[in-house]
């Protein structure tokens, strides 16, 4: 039957089967040299091959609906000589492109890789996780929970970059395939289809790498690590993790992608197409019009005040994906967003809870809140009165929003992958102890906090929330700038924690990067720039610790045998105590830090000595403002080691009256006294073998926020003055 | 550097000033900084040789108790899951005694073949269907009170692993009874009321005790599981619990934890900390957040305020109670209807709830909040009277308005847990995260308002402190002077002797304006909490008042044997040995029985000399009795295997101790069978 159909198709001068045959031919250019292969070029001879090649009929169906083949096609179809020169039919090219594009679209929609897991505790149920370019779907919560027992990080936190670029990648691939058809030069064609060709391989390689990495980076403290010693994951096939039997296989998406890949290869050798300029314009215009019509049809806009008296009414009328617009003005409401809408405030739009309860509650995934001011929550702890509360809803975004006069600012409870961006939280004017948290993440993984300002609150809390990115935020005049526990693999970058009571406390976690943050002016009785307790794999690089009661306090870190803590390139200056080390803090590497003018540079708590830590890496130690230095060879490293054995600190600890003598010659005098009366045997605290001659400051550690501000003002002032001068000058000239 | 001469003059002058300052705090100038050059004062030489700092030398002098002298205070410390109570002397921190409670102790013959202690342990276990529990997790020893002061009569221990109370007499420092509390399987903490009318015990784990078979699926947690607080009537004279006059109050299924009974203005009230008001149940392998995650979700937990005197009245009304498993229970709806209980919001996951000496303020620390919160009892009472409620919990219990109950906050540090008091208007709070003890001032009338709720001093402890204790802290009249910090980890404080490290008991001097660390002492077992009393308060017997004393019943024993009346009697296949012990022989020293006989030994130590304790260690039958002077102790065995079994005195007692022996001859049965 396929034979007949192919034949009739060939008679109609639109031979789909022929096209596919050609595709097969171009895919095997070498074989085309032998007679059997050459026979394939004969349209009638190919019919049988195509019929049994198992190519989806979608391709054959699609071909006739395409624009009528061009002149060139017709000639080549009629001209057997052309066939013999293996110049394929343009129809073939169109078909290949069409099939490849359809395959790519399918690959976008279908899972690429499927993992099925079974375990006794789930009975007959099989846990399935499907990984595709769009999403990771299925029983992720269950798998994550199981993973946490053997120290595997939540799936939502894996391959973040890949998942971000996936849509662009697939779009590029499709565009490449489309473009390929029109490229005249073969190398251009190869280039255009290259993404399609390599994508399946890349995906598999990436997946495998992630699997290896995830297994390798297992959290050593997980409860079942004793029983599950090693995990050997497989890309395809079966393996066991504890009592779990896991089977993995490739999904439909992969096969579709692989098909597109093969077709792409063929396409590189197919005949180029050409389209008239007018048609191009028409297609572009048509697509544009279709897009503009389709987009609003998909997401309706509901404006409050225009048919809806209240925000709640508009939300009730909205469907998933709709936009609810809030006009300027104060809306006295408590709103619950229970569907995936975008709540967008016009400038001056305010939702005011009038000092009662929680103002805005989000219970649906994918909600976006933008450009609003939310204010006036209640102030009752037991009901946790909040500005914006995200409750069991993933992928919520809060952007450009201002939250004022609330007990809690933003409270995220089980809201994975939430994004809080460029928002401001200013708490109620209450004493510290009566405030709520500015931002609180509880059990919400994969979130991003970027560019926010939190003031006059209690804490920024991150608990049980892994894979968080905290970047460019400012937390001021609060209690804990950061209160961070049981959360792994988080990144803190360029944040400023200032004037807080306690500072940043980071506890019971693994995998934390602190880079280029400023921890300053934490001045409470138990205040720290950063308090680090029982944590592993912490990298503290290029931060500023300035004017705190204690700059950096480390206790019980690293806590695991293979855990690491690196403190590198930080500026620790003008604190009462620069660095405080509890005796369980061992194997920490300190290098190229600048300890400048701290009242006590390093405090060793308890009986310990700091010598179990590393004070120089690669022949470079730290800069100590109180060091006696001698650098004969001028390599910037002193030949005299720095020994911290000041008795003064020990005494000041004991007799706070001595603090009076701070930074005076008296402190030195007491050290002198100690040497005169050896009854105070000074106990050496640490030795830096390679102290630096100059403070190794980076642009970030050198810059002081306030100074930058002043410099900015100065520049702006000069600019304004110049402008004024120009205007005046201009006026003078005109006059 | 330009005016070198002037600089050095200033330096020298300041050095002199600094030295003057240094020498001031030292008690003994000869030890302190001293003007003596090395080689002068012999004490200084010792100090130098041992490399001591002045503070260390001072601490050594303060804690040294000369040979033959006694310590000033005795600390009763829980042994945790070692199941004992330890007694330490303060300031020497010498371990003086260990009282066996939940677990067998061979030295003291506790549950080691001894009939009486065996029965106590068996009776204090879960009961039918479950094995006799020979371990327990002893928490928080407490002493009986008379008019709000320690009276030196009885000490109780609670068991977090089983829900039972042990009562120890301070006449002979022995456990007298174990009461398994019905309906609860765990009690972390129990306290005496102001005059020991009741022992009040809050349970930790809620359970479906009101359901058939005590079972309900965990999915029904909110509806069928209940918290519980037990009011156990205490017979102060006999040191026994009177179950018939005891009652329980059903509570919401939160974790009711530490508690304190009121005194003075708070007399009649009972305060309990709670956790997990989220009512999380765990289920991490079933797709739910694990327990600690779910139970830390909410901002506040509830301080339970119970009017226990009113509750005791309600309990007398049979229409308002229900008998459940042999104890009267006031149901939660009745509790709400009778207005017996109110909640006050408290910082999440609190540890300590402590009462200032006069009973005016309740001090609570939520371990995740760097503040200690002081609630005013007066304000709580006013809020109750004015019905100043913030709302109600899921079970209808009114929640008092937080701000209306708070008297003050003290910002003390990270991870505050427990507070104790010194009798001079100061409180001391332990900080787990900071590893510190922080001293602060209590509000009026202890200190004028402008000086109230302020931190005045802080000392580092090593490391991760849990509880801390001060002499008679939990009474109307604390003694001050010392604090003992019970640190969970010792890390590097003692030479490592294997991977299980002791905890560290640190003695701190609080007699001056600055706290001073005096000494480290390794613990045995896990000292959760302790209680410190002046040594004079304890007036125990040094030997038993009569010969033939039943230590459990605290009277003359029914099985006592006078010297000269020793006998071995047979009744059927039961052989009873009524014997005596005296330096240096057993009477009888030969006991003849037949295989399969039931043998009862009643040994009376007929001596009345201090220290003349004898043992009865019987080979093969897992028996060791410790028979104190005057005491009668009994053991019971089945002579299951024929043979010759020596017995001997296990306590070295005399020059002829090695001869203090005897034989049990078990004649084989089969000879009879052959006949």
User: DSSP secondary-structure letter at B464?
Assistant: -
Residue B252 has pLDDT above 90, yes or no: yes
Q: Tens of pLDDT along B617-637?
A: 999 999 999 999 999 999 999
Chain A residues inside the 8 Å CB shell of B18: 658, 661, 666, 669-670, 673
Q: Distance, in angstroms, between B669 CA and closest chain A CA? A: 52
Residue A9 has pLDDT above 50, yes or no: no
% of chain A exceeding 90 in pLDDT: 29
Contact by Cβ (8 Å): A512, A492: yes
Give the nearest partner residue to A381 out of B34, B300, B435, using CB atoms: B300
Do the chains contact at B34 and A584, CB–CB below 8 Å? no
Band of the pLDDT at A570, cuts 50, 70, 90?
very high
**Average pLDDT in the A497-514 region?**
88
Residue A456 has pLDDT above 60, yes or no: yes
Q: Where are the alpha helices (DSSP H) in B204-273?
A: 221-224
Strand order in the sheet with B406-411: B350-355, B361-366, B371-376, B406-411
pLDDT of residue B36: 43
Q: Tens of pLDDT along B294-311?
A: 887 788 899 999 999 999
Collect all residues with Cβ–Cβ distance below 8 Å to B370 and sequence separation of at least 6.
Answer: A479, A480, A501, A502, A524, A526, B411, B412, B413, B414, B416
Do the chains contact at B402 and A668, CB–CB below 8 Å? no
**Average pLDDT in the B517-540 region?**
94
The pair phi, psi for residue A492, each rounded to 5°, is -120, 120
Residue B28 has pLDDT above 90, yes or no: no
Contact by Cβ (8 Å): B208, B224: yes
Q: Which of A215-229, B227-241, B350-364, B497-511 is least confident?
A: A215-229
Collect all residues with Cβ–Cβ distance below 8 Å to A594 and sequence separation of at least 6.
Answer: A570, A571, A572, A573, A622, A623, A625, A692, A695, A696, A697, A701
Tell me if chain B has a CB within 8 Å of the CB of A105.
Answer: no
* Alpha-carbon span B622 to B645, nearest angstrom: 12
Band of the pLDDT at A654, cuts 50, 70, 90?
very low
Question: Mutate which of B1, B3, B15 to test chain A, going by most A C-beta atoms within 10 A?
Answer: B15
Q: Tens of pLDDT along B342-364?
A: 999 998 889 999 999 999 999 99
Do the chains contact at B403 and A145, CB–CB below 8 Å? no
Band of the pLDDT at A297, cuts 50, 70, 90?
low
Do the chains contact at A606 and B38, CB–CB below 8 Å? no
Tell me if chain B has a CB within 8 Å of the CB of A583.
Answer: yes
**Average pLDDT in the B203-207 region?**
92
Band of the pLDDT at A261, cuts 50, 70, 90?
confident
Chain A residues inside the 8 Å CB shell of B462: 583, 606-607
Q: Which of A116-130, A443-457, B46-60, B324-338 is least confident?
A: A116-130
Looking at every residue in chain A, the average pLDDT score rounds to 77
The region that residue B312 occupies, defined by phi over 0 for left and psi between -120 and 50 for alpha, beta otherwise, is alpha
Give the pairing type, strands B398-400 and A360-362.
unpaired
Tell me if chain B has a CB within 8 Å of the CB of A120.
Answer: no
Q: Tens of pLDDT along A461-477?
A: 999 998 999 999 999 98
pLDDT of residue A86: 53
pLDDT of residue A91: 76
Band of the pLDDT at A25, cuts 50, 70, 90?
very low
Q: What is the DSSP string of B107-175?
A: TTTBTSSBHHHHHHHHHTS--TTS-------EEEEEEEEETTEEEEEEEEEEETTT-EEEEEETTTTEE
Q: Tens of pLDDT along A140-194?
A: 767 777 777 777 777 767 777 887 788 888 888 888 888 887 777 878 888 888 8
Collect all residues with Cβ–Cβ distance below 8 Å to A221 and sequence separation of at least 6.
Answer: A151, A510, A560
Chain B residues inside the 8 Å CB shell of A680: 53-54
Contact by Cβ (8 Å): B338, B309: no
pLDDT of residue A608: 60
- Which residues 672-711 of chain A have a CB within 8 Å of chain B? 672-673, 677-681
pLDDT of residue A55: 40
* Alpha-carbon span A343 to A375, nearest angstrom: 15
Selected residue with higher pLDDT from B35 and B8: B8
pLDDT of residue A283: 75
Band of the pLDDT at B43, cuts 50, 70, 90?
confident
Do the chains contact at B286 and A121, CB–CB below 8 Å? yes
Q: Distance, in angstroms, between A484 CA and closest chain B CA? A: 11
Locate A204 and state its tokens. Answer: 């598999």
Q: Distance, in angstroms, between B359 CA and closest chain A CA? A: 24
Chain B residues inside the 8 Å CB shell of A678: 38, 48
Collect all residues with Cβ–Cβ distance below 8 Å to B332 and sequence separation of at least 6.
Answer: B226, B250, B251, B252, B395, B397
Residue with tokens 């209680």: B531
pLDDT of residue A201: 86
Give the nearest partner residue to A382 out of B296, B390, B492, using CB atoms: B390
Chain A residues inside the 8 Å CB shell of B293: 443, 464, 486
**Average pLDDT in the A75-90 region?**
51
Band of the pLDDT at B419, cuts 50, 70, 90?
very high
Q: Distance, in angstroms, between A442 CA and closest chain B CA? A: 7
Question: Mutate which of A358, A506, A669, A674 to test chain B, going by most B C-beta atoms within 10 A?
Answer: A669
pLDDT of residue A228: 63
Give the nearest partner residue to B414 out of A463, A505, A677, using CB atoms: A505
Collect all residues with Cβ–Cβ distance below 8 Å to B277 and sequence separation of at least 6.
Answer: B252, B254, B298, B300, B301, B302, B393
Selected residue with higher pLDDT from A224 and B255: B255
Residue A130 has pLDDT above 90, yes or no: no
State how far Cα A558 lies from the chain centre. 25
Give the nearest partner residue to B18 out of A382, A502, A673, using CB atoms: A673
pLDDT of residue A659: 44
Contact by Cβ (8 Å): A63, A14: yes
Selected residue with higher pLDDT from A654 and B375: B375
Do the chains contact at B390 and A380, CB–CB below 8 Å? yes
Do the chains contact at A555 and B435, CB–CB below 8 Å? yes
Q: Which of A35-39, B58-62, B177-181 is least confident?
A: A35-39
Give the nearest partner residue to B370 out of A502, A607, A664, using CB atoms: A502
pLDDT of residue A231: 75
Do the chains contact at A668 and B436, CB–CB below 8 Å? no
Tell me if chain B has a CB within 8 Å of the CB of A224.
Answer: no
- Which residues 401-430 of chain A have a CB within 8 Å of chain B? 408, 413
Do the chains contact at A382 and B402, CB–CB below 8 Å? yes
Band of the pLDDT at A655, cuts 50, 70, 90?
very low
* Alpha-carbon span B650 to B653, nearest angstrom: 9
Instruction: Give the highest mean pLDDT range of A97-101, A400-404, B39-43.
Output: A400-404
* Alpha-carbon span A199 to A493, nearest angstrom: 32
Residue with tokens 């063929």: A266
pLDDT of residue B548: 95
pLDDT of residue A681: 47
Residue B186 has pLDDT above 60, yes or no: yes
Give the nearest partner residue to B53 out of A434, A664, A680, using CB atoms: A680
Question: Mutate which of A125, A356, A382 to test chain B, going by most B C-beta atoms within 10 A?
Answer: A382
pLDDT of residue A392: 92
Q: Tens of pLDDT along B399-417?
A: 999 999 999 999 888 889 9
Over the range A172-197, which residues count as b (16 or more CB within 10 Å of their CB) and which as e?
Answer: bbbebbebbbbbeeeeebbebbbbbb
């Amino acid at each position: 039957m396929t034979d007949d159909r192919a034949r009739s198709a060939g008679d109609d001068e639109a031979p789909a089967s022929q096209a596919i045959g050609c595709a097969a031919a171009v895919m095997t250019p070498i074989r085309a040299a032998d007679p059997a292969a050459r026979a394939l070029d004969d349209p009638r001879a190919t019919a049988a091959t195509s019929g049994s090649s198992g190519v989806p009929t979608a391709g054959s169906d699609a071909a006739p609906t395409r624009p009528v083949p061009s002149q060139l096609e017709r000639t080549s179809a009629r001209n057997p000589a052309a066939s013999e020169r293996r110049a394929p039919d343009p129809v073939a090219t169109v078909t290949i492109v069409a099939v490849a594009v359809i395959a790519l679209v399918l690959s976008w929609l279908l899972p690429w890789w499927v993992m099925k897991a079974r375990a006794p505790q789930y009975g007959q149920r099989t846990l399935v996780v499907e990984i595709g370019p769009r999403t990771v779907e299925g029983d992720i919560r269950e798998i994550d929970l199981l993973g946490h027992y053997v120290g595997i990080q939540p799936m939502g936190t894996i391959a973040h970059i890949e998942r971000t670029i996936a849509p662009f990648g697939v779009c590029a691939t499709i565009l490449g395939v489309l473009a390929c058809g029109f490229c005249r030069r073969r190398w251009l064609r190869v280039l255009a289809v290259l993404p399609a060709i390599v994508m399946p391989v890349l995906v598999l390689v990436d997946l495998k790498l992630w699997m290896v990495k995830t297994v390798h980076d297992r959290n050593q403290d997980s409860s079942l690590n004793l029983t599950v010693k090693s995990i050997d994951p497989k890309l395809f096939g079966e393996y066991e993790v504890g009592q779990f039997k896991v089977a993995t296989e490739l999904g439909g998406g992969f096969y579709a992608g692989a098909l597109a890949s093969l077709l792409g290869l063929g396409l590189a050798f197919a005949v180029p197409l050409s389209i008239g300029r007018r048609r191009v314009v028409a297609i572009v215009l048509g697509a544009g019009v279709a897009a503009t019509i389709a987009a609003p049809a998909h997401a309706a806009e509901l404006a409050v005040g225009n048919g809806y008296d209240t925000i709640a009414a508009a939300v009730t009328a909205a469907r998933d994906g709709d936009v609810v617009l809030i006009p300027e003005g104060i809306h006295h409401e408590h709103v619950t967003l229970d569907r995936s809408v975008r709540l967008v405030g016009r400038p001056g739009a305010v939702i005011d809870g009038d000092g009662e309860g929680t103002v805005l509650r989000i219970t649906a995934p994918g909600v976006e809140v933008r450009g609003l001011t939310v204010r006036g929550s209640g102030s009752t702890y037991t009901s946790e009165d909040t500005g914006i509360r995200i409750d069991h809803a993933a992928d919520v975004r809060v952007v450009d929003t201002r939250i004022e006069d609330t007990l809690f600012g933003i409270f995220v409870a089980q809201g994975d992958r939430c994004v809080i961006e460029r928002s401001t939280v200013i708490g109620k004017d209450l004493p510290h102890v009566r405030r709520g948290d500015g931002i609180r993440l509880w059990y919400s993984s994969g979130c991003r906090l970027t560019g926010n300002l939190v003031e006059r609150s209690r804490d920024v809390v991150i608990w049980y929330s892994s894979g968080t990115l905290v970047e460019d935020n400012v937390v001021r005049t609060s209690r804990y700038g950061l209160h961070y526990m049981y959360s792994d693999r988080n990144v803190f970058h360029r944040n400023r924690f200032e004037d807080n009571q306690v500072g940043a406390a980071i506890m019971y976690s693994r995998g934390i990067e602190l880079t280029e943050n400023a921890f300053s002016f934490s001045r409470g009785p138990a205040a720290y720039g950063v308090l680090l307790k029982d944590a592993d794999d912490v990298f503290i690089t290029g931060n500023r610790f300035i004017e705190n009661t204690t700059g950096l306090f480390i206790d019980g870190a690293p806590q695991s045998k293979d855990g690491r803590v690196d403190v590198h390139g930080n500026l620790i200056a003008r604190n009462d105590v620069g660095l405080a080390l509890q005796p369980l803090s061992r194997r920490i590497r300190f290098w190229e830090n600048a300890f400048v003018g701290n009242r006590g540079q390093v405090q060793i708590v308890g009986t310990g000595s700091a010598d179990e830590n590393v004070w120089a890496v690669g022949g470079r130690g730290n800069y100590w403002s109180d060091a006696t230095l001698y650098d004969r060879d001028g390599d910037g490293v002193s030949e005299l080691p720095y020994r911290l054995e000041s008795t003064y600190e020990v005494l000041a600890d004991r007799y706070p009256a001595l603090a009076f003598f701070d930074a005076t010659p008296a402190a030195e005098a007491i050290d002198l006294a100690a040497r005169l009366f050896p009854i105070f045997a000074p106990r050496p605290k640490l030795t830096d073998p390679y102290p630096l001659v100059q403070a190794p400051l980076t642009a970030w550690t050198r810059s002081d926020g306030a100074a930058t501000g002043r410099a900015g003002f100065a520049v702006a002032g000069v600019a304004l003055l110049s402008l004024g001068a120009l205007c005046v000058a201009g006026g003078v000239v005109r006059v | 550097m330009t005016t070198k001469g002037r600089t050095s003059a200033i330096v020298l002058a300041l050095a002199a000033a600094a030295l003057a300052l240094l020498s001031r705090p030292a008690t003994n100038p000869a030890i302190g900084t001293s003007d003596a050059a090395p080689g002068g004062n012999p004490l200084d030489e010792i100090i130098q040789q041992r490399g001591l700092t002045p503070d260390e030398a001072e601490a050594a002098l303060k804690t040294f108790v000369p040979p033959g002298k006694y310590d000033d205070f005795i600390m009763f410390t829980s042994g945790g899951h070692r199941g004992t109570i330890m007694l330490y002397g303060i300031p020497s921190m010498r371990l003086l005694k260990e009282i066996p409670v939940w677990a067998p102790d061979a030295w003291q013959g506790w549950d080691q073949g001894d009939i009486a202690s065996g029965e106590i342990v068996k009776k204090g276990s879960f009961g039918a269907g479950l094995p006799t529990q020979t371990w327990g997790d002893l928490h928080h020893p407490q002493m009986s009170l008379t008019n709000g002061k320690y009276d030196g009569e009885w000490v109780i221990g609670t068991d977090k692993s089983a829900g039972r109370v042990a009562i120890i007499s301070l006449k002979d420092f022995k456990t007298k009874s174990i009461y398994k509390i019905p309906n609860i399987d765990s009690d972390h903490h129990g306290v005496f009321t102001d005059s020991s009318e009741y022992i009040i015990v809050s349970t930790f784990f809620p359970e479906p005790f009101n359901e058939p078979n005590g079972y309900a699926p965990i999915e029904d947690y909110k509806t069928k599981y209940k918290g519980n607080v037990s009011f156990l009537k205490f017979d102060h004279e006999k040191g026994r619990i009177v179950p018939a006059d005891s009652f329980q109050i059903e509570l919401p299924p939160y974790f009711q934890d530490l508690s304190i009974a009121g005194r003075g203005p708070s007399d009649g009230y009972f305060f309990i900390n709670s956790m997990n008001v989220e009512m999380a149940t765990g289920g991490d392998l079933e797709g739910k957040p694990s327990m600690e995650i779910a139970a830390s979700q909410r901002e506040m937990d509830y301080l339970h305020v119970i009017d226990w005197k009113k509750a005791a009245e309600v309990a007398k009304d049979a229409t308002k109670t229900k008998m459940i498993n042999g104890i009267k229970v006031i149901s939660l709806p009745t509790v709400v209807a009778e207005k017996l209980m109110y909640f006050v919001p408290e910082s999440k996951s609190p540890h300590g709830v402590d009462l200032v000496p006069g009973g005016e303020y309740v001090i609570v620390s939520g371990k995740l909040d760097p503040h200690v919160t002081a609630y005013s009892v007066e304000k709580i009472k006013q809020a109750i009277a004015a019905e100043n409620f913030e709302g109600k919990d899921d079970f209808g219990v009114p929640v008092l308005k937080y701000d209306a109950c708070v008297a003050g906050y003290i910002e003390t540090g990270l991870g505050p847990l427990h507070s104790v008091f010194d009798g001079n208007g100061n409180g001391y709070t332990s900080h787990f995260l900071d590893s510190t003890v922080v001293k602060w001032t209590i509000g009026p009338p202890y200190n004028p308002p402008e000086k109230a709720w302020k931190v005045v001093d802080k000392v580092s402890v090593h490391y991760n402190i849990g509880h801390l204790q001060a002499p008679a802290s939990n009474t109307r009249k604390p003694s001050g002077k010392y604090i003992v910090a019970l640190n969970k980890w010792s890390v590097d404080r003692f030479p490592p002797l294997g991977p299980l490290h002791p905890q560290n008991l640190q003695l701190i001097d609080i007699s001056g304006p600055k706290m001073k660390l005096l000494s480290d002492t390794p613990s045995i077992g896990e000292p959760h909490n302790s209680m410190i009393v002046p040594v004079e308060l304890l007036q125990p017997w040094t030997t038993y008042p009569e010969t033939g004393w039943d230590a459990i019943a605290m009277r003359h024993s029914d099985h006592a044997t006078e010297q000269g009346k020793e006998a071995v009697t047979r009744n059927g296949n039961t052989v009873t040995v009524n014997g005596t012990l005296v330096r240096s022989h057993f009477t009888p020293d030969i006991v003849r029985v037949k295989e399969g006989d039931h043998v009862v030994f009643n040994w009376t130590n007929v001596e009345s000399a201090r220290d003349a304790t004898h043992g009865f260690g019987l080979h093969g039958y897992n028996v060791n009795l410790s028979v104190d002077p005057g005491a009668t102790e009994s053991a019971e065995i089945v002579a299951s295997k024929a043979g010759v079994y020596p017995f001997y005195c296990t306590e070295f007692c005399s020059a002829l101790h090695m001869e203090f022996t005897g034989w049990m001859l078990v004649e084989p049965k089969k000879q009879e069978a052959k006949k």
